[in-house]
Amino acid sequence: MQQFEISLKDNRQNRYLNFLLFSILLNVMLFSWMLSTATHFYIMIAGLVFSVLSVVLHVSKKWNKIVFSPHYLLIVFVLCWIAELEWLPALLNIIFIFSAVYLNKKILITVNVDGMIIHSYPKKIFAWKETDNVLIKDGLMTIDLLNNKLFQFVIEEVLVNENDFNDFCKNCISANRPINQQSDNFAS
């Protein structure tokens, strides 16, 4: 069974970095506020130093030069909060970690003889019988549905042969459309 995997260009990177900055600033405020009541003073100092260092790296745009992913710092924050026996900030940072991982996830489109699946949240599934046209041209994927909805996506890297993909989609649409509805409005 022929199948195509298409990776979309990531337009959520700014949201991801802004979300990380928000969570790190929140940790700076919490560490500063809890510093006076901490039972393990050195843990709060370490958390405050890590969070301030993270803000400095974020503002100076040095994240790209760091080998590890910036959301790993949130794990350090979770460990600091657990060591201090502060469960609510630890839980909040665990939620931040899962959110950061979700925001940093690549979006893929799978195209096969059954239809198309856009792997995002929520997952979108399009059957060929509800599709009017699908094509890739110049790094842009267009999905035109029979209900007049149009989706266009910028492809990260075109790793498929455009002509083969367009012919495959054209054949799948023709095979799944009733004979009286078939038209010749496909673009190649």
Give pLDDT, residue 75: 81
- Rg, the chain, Cα only: 24
Taking alpha carbons only, the member of 175, 172, 179 closest to residue 3 is 172
DSSP conformation class of 42: H
Q: Which pTM was predicted?
A: 0.63
pLDDT tens digits for range 13-54:
677 777 777 887 888 888 777 777 767 777 778 777 877 777
- Within 10 angstroms of residue 41's Cβ, the number of other Cβ atoms is 11
Low-confidence stretches of the chain (pLDDT beneath 50): 67, 187-188
- pLDDT for 69 equals 62
Adjacency order of strands within the sheet including 3-7: 3-7, 108-112, 115-119, 124-127
State phi, psi for 142 to the nearest 5 degrees. -120, 130
